[in-house]
Structure 1
Amino acid sequence: MKGILLVNLGSPDTPNPKDVKRYLGEFLMDERVIDVPLWARTLLVKGIILNTRPKASAKAYKKIWWDEGSPLIVLSERLQEKVQNKVDYPVALAMRYGSMTLKNGLQELVDKGCTEIKTIPLYPQFAMATTETIDVKIDELVAEHFPQVKITRTPAFYKREDYINALSASIGEVLNGLDYEHILFSYHGVPERHIRKSDVTNGNCKMDGKCCFKKGSPQHEFCYRHQCEITTINVAKKLGLKNGTYSTTFQSRLGFDPWLKPYTDRTIERMGKEGIKKMAIVTPAFVSDCLETLEEIAMEGEEIFHEVGGEEFTVIPCLNERDDFAQVLTNIIEEWAKTPENAMV
């Protein structure tokens, strides 16, 4: 029997510092999030970050917390329900970090009789710190606890036509009739070294802004920067955006190593100082609104823009539980189920 496991990032159980600290500890100790030797990661995370950051992060979470709970969890559950209503297979939801564990999600499907499970990380673009860490953890859990289960992974879906159509529609609905001068496509940032580590060509990636657009490069299958750039380009084409009215930026950097540029916060500040008065911003690396979109972008980003003279700052929601996005996931599931190797299962 087939089953589907949708996987998102995760969230603290509550916005209280104790729960936030527990969540941050699990998240930041992941070797694919902070990819330094264990001793250095332990010193950084447990010796410094967890002694300073949880209180500030808890305040940020409190700003965006809903009565129903964490926005990311609530929105993911709504999406799961919509997908479940569209397919005949059991659909479970799990998080990479936090109490909604991958093990519990797999166990839920196994308890329903599933022996073949398709995992769908809810990330349109591949990254070492998102999709890869999910795939690796799933493999570990299956080997240890569910050896009878066959796992099928889902490739990054950033260039699927139905996804681009859904993302473009969500943006177009806000931009239609909106008087704006520039739209930022802000993606979650990662260290530049993550891009190099994911380069299957072992050195073809030059981080020079050129190889991302070279057609047919094999590293593009696992290059986060390329996939972000192409997402922006495809949406811009779909919406008919004019050159110079949109750009790609990256947010949420940590530490002193170089991260993907240009940075979102500095771009917002620069454009405001240059006289841009009306800006729109969308965050296509996230499918569910969360701390990074609701607080970092919608609150901190707007504050930066207004401080430097900007007037109107329009934040476009993530895809969340939109019907067209639920249909994208449904299409992915149905295409998998119809492949020859699955047709008779």
Structure 2
Amino acid sequence: MKGVLLVNLGSPDSPTAKDVKPYLDEFLMDERVIDVPNWLRNILVRGIILQTRPKKSAEAYAKIWWEEGSPLIVISERFTEKLKEHSDMPIALGMRYGSMTIKNALKELNDKGVDEVLLVPLYPHYAMSSYETVVVKVMEEQERFFPDMKLTTLPPFYKNPEYIRVLSEKIAESLEGFDYDHILFSYHGIPERHIRKSDPTRFHCKIDGKCCQTNSVAHNTCYRHQCFDTTESVKAYLNLPADKVSNSFQSRLPNDPWLKPYTDFEFERFPKEGIKNLAVITPAFVADCLETLEEIAMEGQHQFQEAGGEGYKHIPCLNESDSWVKVMASWIKDWQETGALPA
């Protein structure tokens, strides 16, 4: 029997330092997130970061926490339930980090007789710290606990026409009545070295402003290229003026070169250049989370207006919108009936 496993990032169980600390420990100790030798990662994470970060992160989570729980979890559960209405296959939801484990989600499918699973990492783009770590973790759990299961993985869908359509329509709908000067596509940040590590050719990715425009097999695993490609596809779909759209990257760590330009620097720069009304979209995520709701919707607006900006519009993620559910349902149905995966 066929079934579907949806996987997203995860969340602490509550917005308290007690629950945030083990969640951050699991997240930051992932070798694909902080990609340094294990001994050094232990020092950085458990000896330094976890001494202060849980309290600060808990305060941030408390700002965006819903009555039903973590926004990312609640949205992902709503999306899953809606998706089930469009499919006769078992569908389970797991998280890469936290108590909603991938192992439990696989067990849920296994208990229903599923022996062939479509893994759906809920990330549009390939990155070792998001898409790749999900795929690797699912494979590890499957091989260890459910060796008779067969896995098929949905590829990154950053330029799929149906994904671009629903993303563009979401942006257009959100911009109705807002007279923007500029639209910023703010993507999750990653270290520059992750781009080079993910390059199968070992020589194409130079992060020099040219390699992303030069065709290469490296683009299949290049997060930076794929982010730019998403922006260009949306610009073309909505016929947006090139001078009113730009990209940036958020959530960096100090003393380490991450992808640029940095989102918070852009918030400070824009008002000085006459951009007073700004719209911000976060297409690296399909569900709103701490990074979109606190860092962009709250702190981003504060930074922009402190720098002299006026109007600010945070555009929500696709979340559990009916149009997005229908697109995912169509991909799942195609795989169920023909084994085809979206291009």
Root-mean-square deviation (CA, aligned residues, Å) is 1.1
Shift of 1:340: 5.7
Match of 1:38 in 2: 38
- Map 1:320-331; keep pairs closer than 5 Å: 320-331=319-330
Q: Which residue of 2 aligns with 1:168?
A: 168
Letter in 2 for 1:275: G
1:289 equivalenced with 2:288 (yes/no): yes
Match of residue 269 from structure 1? 268
Amino acid at match of 1:218: V
State the distance in 1 between where 2:282 and 2:311 align: 17
Pairs within 5 Å for 1:140-289 = 140-215=140-215, 217-289=216-288
Deviations 1:221-258 (A, max 9, x none): 11000100000000011111001101011000013111
For residue 86 of structure 1, what is the aligned residue in structure 2?
86
Q: Give 1:111's aligned residue.
A: 111
Residues 65-89 of structure 1: CA distance to partner in whole angstroms, max 9, x if unpaired? Answer: 0000000000000000111110110
Contact 2:118 2:154 in 1 (8 A): yes
Structure-to-structure mapping, 1:290-305, within 5 angstroms: 290-305=289-304
Superposition deviation, residue 297 in structure 1: 0.4
- How far apart, in 2, do the equivalents of 1:202 and 1:11 lie? 34
Q: Distance in 2 between matches of 1:272 and 1:341?
A: 47
Give the aligned length: 341
What SS does structure 2 have at the residue aligned with 1:113? coil
Cα distance change of structure 1 residues 171 and 340 upon mapping to structure 2, 3 Å threshold: closer
SS at match of 2:119: strand
Deviates more, 1:250-259 or 1:161-170: 250-259
CA distance 1:34–1:116, shift in 2 (3 Å): same
Gaps of 5+ in 2: none
- 1:92 is paired with a residue of what secondary structure? strand
Matched residue type, 1:326: V
Q: Structure 1: how far apart are the matches of 2:294 and 2:274?
A: 24
In the other structure, the counterpart of 2:28 is: 28
Greater Cα shift, 249-258 or 103-112: 249-258
Give the drift of 1:337: 1.8
Question: Aligned with 2:96: secondary structure?
Answer: strand
CA deviations over 1:295-339 (Å, ceiling 9, x no partner): 000111111111111011100000000111111211221221233
1:232 alignment partner, SS class? helix
Instruction: Tell me: CA distance 1:116–1:55, structure 2 relative to 1, closer, same or farther (3 Å).
Output: same
Q: What amino acid sits opposite 1:94 in the alignment?
A: G
Given residue 239 of structure 1, which amino acid in structure 2 is its aligned partner?
Answer: L
Query: What CA deviation, in whole Å up to 9, does each residue of 1:165-201 have, x standing for no partner?
Result: 0000000001233201000000000000000011011
Deviation readout 1:119-159 (Å, 9 max, x if unpaired): 10000001100010011111111111100100101110011
1:266 and 1:232 mapped to 2: Cα distance?
Answer: 19
What TM-score results when the alignment is normalised by the length of structure 2? Answer: 0.98
Q: In 2, are the aligned partners of 1:275 and 1:309 still within 8 Å (CA)?
A: no
**In the alignment, residue 250 of structure 1 is paired with which amino acid?**
F
1:244 partner SS = helix
- Give the % identical residues: 61
Is the CA contact (8 Å cut-off) linking 1:10 and 1:95 kept in structure 2? yes
What pairs up with 1:60-139 in 2 under 5 angstroms?
60-139=60-139
Deviation string for 1:15-67 (max 9, x for gaps)? Answer: 01010011000000000000000011000000000001110100000000000
* Counterparts of 1:126 and 1:145, CA distance in 2: 26
**Runs of 4+ residues over 6 Å off in structure 1:** none
2: CA distance, partners of 1:273 / 1:104:
51
Secondary structure at the aligned position of 1:120 is classed as: strand
